[in-house]
Amino acid sequence: MKRILLVDDDKDFGRTLERSLPSKGFEPRWVATAADALDAMAETEFAAVLCDVRMPKVDGLALCADIVDRRPDLPVILLTGFGTLDAAVAALRAGAYDFLSKPASLDTIAFALERAVRHHELQAEVQRLRRVASEARIEHSLVAKSAAMRRVLEAVGRVADSPASVLISGESGTGKEVVARAIHDNSGRKDRPFLAVNCAAMPPHLLESELFGHVRGAFTDARDARLGLFREAQGGTVLLDEIGDMAIELQPKLLRVLQERKVRPVGSSQEIPIDVRFVCATNRDLEERIAAKQFRDDLYFRIAVVEIALPPLRLRGAEDILAIAANAVLRFAGAQNKDVKGLSKAAAERLLAYDWPGNVRELVHCMEHAVIMTSYDQIGVDDLPPRLAHPRAGHNVPVSDAELVSLDVMERRYVEKVLAALHGNKAATARVLGIERRTLYRKLEAWGLSTPAEVEPEAR
C-alpha cells in the first residue's frame, strides 16, 4: 500500500477518497488544513500529497510551495474547481508535480497518484545510487578498513556538500591532501578546479601574490597581472596546506577573504567577489600556535568549522596497512607492466612490525621500491627497503632478524602499543583496532593483561 496524504477542507470529498483509494492500492490519510498536513508529514512518511487549492487560512498553492521547499523529493498534486490555464501555471510555479481539475473521477485521481508515487520512488532510487557512487568514490581514494578511518570516511561524506570550511589535521604523510580531494570530488564543485598551495613553501610576499594575485607593476618584476589562486579556483576548492605555518602578518588578509568572500589583488584598491570552498590542512597543533601568538584564534575558528583528525598509520591497525600496501603494489605493478600480485607472509609481517614514522606516504614509497626491485610475482622481505628488510638497532622495528615471532605475539605487541598510546583507554583502543570491546577484553585476559571481571559487563 502506498501511503498518501489528502489535504482538503471538504469533509465529504476527503472522507470519500479515504474510503475509496484503498481499493486502488493506496493507504490514504485525510486532513482538513495546511497546518494539519505539515504536522502529519512530521509524523509519517508519505509517497505523495493530493491537495485542494482553495482552503481557508493557507491555500493549496502556499502549502505546495512549503512542501516543495521542505521536501523537494515529495510530489504534490493540486486539485482545483477552476481548470483554467492560469490555475495550471500557478500550480506549476508553486512546484506541483501535477494538476487536476474538479470534479475528477476516482480512476483519474488514482492514475495521477500512481505516476506521482513512481516518480517519488525513482527519485529515492536516484538518491540511493548517488550515495552509493559517492561512497564508492571515497572508498577508492581512501582505504578505510579500521574503525578510526571509517569515521573519517563518514565525516567526508557528511561535509562534502556543505559550504563550511574544513580543517584537516594529522601528522605528515597521513593523507591530508587525499582527504581534501575526496571532499572536493564528492561535492557539487567536483567539475570545477581543485587547487592546492603549501603555505610553508614560500615567503609571505610571494605567498600573498600566489593567493590574492597582483596587478601589473604592483612590485618589482610584476610585469604582468596575475589572477591568483583564489580567483583561478572560482566555483571550486582551494586547499591551504600547512596553514599553521602561514606568516602571522598574512593571516588577517586571509581572514578577511574568508569573512567577506572578496579578494583584493596586491597593488589594487578593488575587491573582487569569489566563490570558493576552503579546506585547510596542518600537522601543527594550532592551539599551541595560538598560545604562542603565532596563529590568530579568530582565523582558527573561521577555518575549523568542521575539523577532521587523521590518525597516524601506526594506530590504524593491520587491516589498513596491508590494504594500502596491496593497493600500492597493484598500482605500481600495472604502471611498470610487471606481474606482481601481492606480498609474501614474511614481507607482510615486516610491514606490520614497523612504526611507519612517515605514515601512508612512506608505506606507498616502500611499495614502489619493492615493485621495482622484485623479480617474482610476490613481494619478498629482500625486496623491501633496507630499513625494513635488514633493520638495525635504533630503527622503529620491534622485531629483529634474530627474533622472528608468531602473529599472535605480534598482535599482542601491537595491542599493547595502542593501549599505551591511548593511556590505557580500552574503549578507545577497541575503536582504533576496529573490534568489539568484549573481544579486546578477552584478548587481554588471554594474554594475562586483564582480569575476568572486566569481561563481564560487556558479556551480559
Q: Is the pLDDT of residue 442 over 90?
A: no
The amino acid at 276: V
- Rank 57-71, 241-255, 409-423 by mean pLDDT and report only the highest: 241-255
CB within 8 Å of 225: residues ≥ 6 apart: 213, 214, 215, 216, 265
User: Which alpha helices (H) appear in 213-284, and where do they start and end?
Assistant: 229-232, 251-260
Q: Scan for cell 580567483, then name that residue.
A: 231
Asked if the bond preceding 357 is cis, omega within 30° of 0, the reply is: no
The pLDDT score that the predictor gives to residue 83 is 60
Calculate mean pLDDT across residues 226-235: 90
Q: Is the pLDDT of residue 388 over 50?
A: yes
Q: At what angle do helices 176-185 and 147-159 cross, to 10 degrees?
A: 40
Please state, in angstroms and rounded to a whole number, the distance separating the CA atoms of residues 366 and 357.
Answer: 13
* H-helix or E-strand spanning residue 3: strand 2-7
Please state, in angstroms and rounded to a whole number, the distance separating the CA atoms of residues 176 and 169.
Answer: 7
Q: At what angle do helices 204-212 and 251-260 cross, to 10 degrees?
A: 20
What does the pLDDT look like over 333-348, one tens digit per residue? 988 889 998 899 999 9
Report the greatest alpha carbon distance in the chain.
92
Q: Are the CB atoms for 379 and 344 separated by under 8 Å? A: yes
User: Which alpha helices (H) appear in 338-436, and where do they start and end?
Assistant: 345-353, 359-373, 386-389, 407-421, 426-433
The pLDDT score that the predictor gives to residue 397 is 44
| Alpha-carbon distances, residue 13 vs 50, 52, 115 (angstroms) | 12, 10, 21
β-bridge partners, 101: 80
Q: Are the CB atoms for 407 and 415 separated by under 8 Å? A: no
* H-helix or E-strand spanning residue 300: helix 297-303
Q: Are the CB atoms for 16 and 50 separated by under 8 Å? A: no
HSE of 149, CA atoms in CB hemisphere, 13 A:
27
What does the pLDDT look like over 135-191, one tens digit per residue? 445 444 577 778 888 888 889 989 998 899 999 999 999 999 999 999 998 898 998
pTM here is 0.58
CB within 8 Å of 151: residues ≥ 6 apart: none
Please state, in angstroms and rounded to a whole number, the distance separating the CA atoms of residues 447 and 409.
Answer: 9
What does the pLDDT look like over 89-140, one tens digit per residue? 777 777 888 888 878 889 999 999 999 999 888 887 777 666 555 544 544 4
DSSP string, 145-164: -SHHHHHHHHHHHHHTT--S
Q: Which of 192-201, 403-412, 451-460 has the lowest mean pLDDT?
A: 451-460
Please state, in angstroms and rounded to a whole number, the distance separating the CA atoms of residues 57 and 279.
Answer: 47
Q: Is the pLDDT of residue 221 over 90?
A: no
Please state, in angstroms and rounded to a whole number, the distance separating the CA atoms of residues 282 and 239.
Answer: 11
Please state, in angstroms and rounded to a whole number, the distance separating the CA atoms of residues 79 and 396.
Answer: 74
Neighbours of 385 (CB within 10 A): 15
Calculate mean pLDDT across residues 362-383: 94
The amino acid at 268: S
**Per-residue pLDDT band at 194 (split at 50, 70, 90):** very high
Q: Take residue 200 and report the three cell numbers written for it.
A: 610553508
**Per-residue pLDDT band at 359 (split at 50, 70, 90):** very high
**Per-residue pLDDT band at 222 (split at 50, 70, 90):** low
What does the pLDDT look like over 6-56, one tens digit per residue? 999 888 888 898 899 999 999 999 999 889 998 888 888 899 999 988 888
Q: Which of 174-188, 289-303, 319-333, 440-454 has the lowest mean pLDDT?
A: 440-454
pLDDT above 70: percentage of residues in the chain: 88
Q: Are the CB atoms for 194 and 141 separated by under 8 Å? A: no
**Per-residue pLDDT band at 280 (split at 50, 70, 90):** very high
**Per-residue pLDDT band at 294 (split at 50, 70, 90):** very high
The pLDDT score that the predictor gives to residue 327 is 86
**Per-residue pLDDT band at 402 (split at 50, 70, 90):** very low
